[in-house]
Structures are given as C-alpha cells and as structure tokens.
Amino acid sequence: MSPDRRGPLVVAHRGASAALPEHTLAAYELALEEGADGLECDVRLTRDGHLVCVHDRTVDRTSTGSGVVSEMTLGNLSELAFGGNGEPVLTLSELITLVLDHTSRPTKLFIETKHPVRFGGLVESKVLAELARFGLAAPPSATHSRAVVMSFSAAAVWRIRRSAPLLPTVLLGESSRYLGGGAATTVGATAVGPSIKSLREHPEIVDRAAAAGRATYCWTVDDRSDVELCRDLGVGWIATNHPGRTREWLGR
C-alpha cells in the first residue's frame, strides 16, 4: 500500500455507486470495467451468520424492504430487491468471487466491517474465515494482498492484526485519531484512513503516517481538486463513487 508515482490508486466506493445502486453486482462490474484498482464494500452479519454487503444498519434505504440486517436471515434478505433492477442482496462471498474471476487486473477488495461491537469480534472472525476459504487470509506481503480489511473500530483492526498478521488493514477515522496518540500505530494498522475533510484540514496526516511506516487511504474523494490534493500529498489509495472519471483525472 505504498504511494504510487502515478498518483493514488482508485478504489470504487460501494462500486461505481454514482452511476449504479451501491453494493450491487452491477455497480462492482461497472467499476471493474472502468479500471478501478480496488473495490470497497461494507459488510454486516445476518442473524444466521452470513456476511452481506450492506452499508446501513437497516435495509430501508437501499432495498424494497425494511428491517435491521442483523435481525434478518439471508433468506429474508434474498426476498428483497436492492437497486432499481431488482438486484438481490450481494454476499461477501459473491463479491470475492467477482474480484478473483477478474483476472485481467489484480484488483484489491477493501472490506469494511460494520457494527463490530454488537457481535464482539464475530464479524472479523467471519471475514477472516471467508478470506481463508478463498486463500486470501495469509498473503505473501501487504503489497500483494488481494484483500484489505478496514474499520472505524480500533478494536476490530487489532483483532484482525492479531489473527491474520499478514493481512493489510486500514484504521478509518477523523483527523484527531491520527494527530494525537497514533492509534493506527498502536493497533498495528497498515494504513491510516482519514476522510477527505480531515485531509483538507490536516494534510500533514500523510507525512506523519509515512514517517510511522503507514500508507494513507482517503475517503470519499469525488471532486477533482480533492483528487489532485491527494495526488500531491502522496496518498496511496482514494475511495471514490466515480472510479472512471477519477482515473481519467489522474491521466490513467
């Protein structure tokens, strides 16, 4: 996850989600077509222990149904339509398969664990088990890893590091997290993950992270001036809802 001379690598946030409904297979396929270097997804655990790609605590905003993801079974979720064309809920397993089947580029999958507190580490252990099932939990190096696990929870990142020390991680958060006590270093995260707002206010985050041996992953970077700021600061990865346009801005 080291900075690239060509500028930041481009991560499709929830897929090419400005063009197609977030977290749908179609949105991820479009992101791959547009040349995204990475795909970002949020994962939640269903009541019966399946990992699904849903951002919110409930399915109300993104599906035809309503209810709390963690109180529903995969069967319940499968009855709903996500996105305008009736797409089914996307499982983490299906998304990993898409990434691995896309053999023309070594696209990375950035998996963000949501609600880690409620399940006391179960989400992380399930994510690791899923990655292990696909042979992705013990990469030869962080650079060559096809998966990155991210969280706003330092405890979640720490659990991943403890169980899968070779897997790269991002500790997400606002600037106070990186400028003060160095939480990313404490939990051993491979990268810091500030918002673009934090980076505009505190661009020194990138150099401080680099001095501590950490890369920077910035979200959610949709404006051209912000893409250029990230490029000039040496940010390693940017998450955007517009992967194609962003790559063009970077001259790819």
Which C-beta is closer to Ca ion: that of 174 or that of 228? 174
**Site residue total, ligand G3P (CB under 6 A):** 8
Strand, helix or coil at 111?
strand
Among 148, 172, 209, 238, binds ligand G3P (CB under 6 A): 172
Which C-beta is closer to ligand G3P: that of 32 or that of 191? 191
Closest C-alpha among 1, 3, 8, 6 to residue 227: 8
Closest C-alpha among 58, 67, 48, 53 to residue 22: 53
Burial class of residue 46 (count of CB atoms within 10 Å of its CB; 0-12, 13-18, 19+)? buried
How far is the C-alpha of 57 from the C-alpha of 241, rounded, in Å? 20
How far is the C-alpha of 176 from the C-alpha of 179, rounded, in Å? 5
Q: Binding pattern to Ca ion, positions 13-52, x when CB under 5 A?
A: -----------------------------x----------
Kindly identify the residues of this chain, within the stretch 192-221, that bind ligand G3P according to CB under 6 A: 219
How far is the C-alpha of 202 from the C-alpha of 7, rounded, in Å? 19
The site partner of 239 among ligand G3P, Ca ion, none (C-beta below 5 to 8 Å per kind) is ligand G3P
Q: At what angle do helices 154-163 and 122-133 cross, to 10 degrees?
A: 40
Least distance in angstroms from the C-beta of 103 to ligand G3P: 25
Distance of CA 151 to the CA centre of its chain: 9
Among 22, 112, 124, 226, binds ligand G3P (CB under 6 A): 112
**How many C-beta atoms surround the C-beta of residue 122 within 10 A?**
12
Among 239, 246, 249, 250, binds ligand G3P (CB under 6 A): 239
Active site residues: 13, 55
Kindly identify the residues of this chain, within the stretch 90-149, that bind Ca ion according to CB under 5 A: 112
**Site residue total, Ca ion (CB under 5 A):** 2
**Pair type for strands 38-45 and 9-13:** parallel
Which C-beta is closer to ligand G3P: that of 73 or that of 229? 229
How far is the C-alpha of 231 from the C-alpha of 5, rounded, in Å? 9
Q: Say if CB 95 and CB 70 are below 8 A apart.
A: no
Q: Binding pattern to ligand G3P, positions 31-70, x when CB under 6 A?
A: ---------x-x------------x---------------
The site partner of 219 among ligand G3P, Ca ion, none (C-beta below 5 to 8 Å per kind) is ligand G3P
| Binding region for Ca ion (CB under 5 A) | 42, 112
| Binding region for ligand G3P (CB under 6 A) | 13, 40, 42, 55, 112, 172, 219, 239
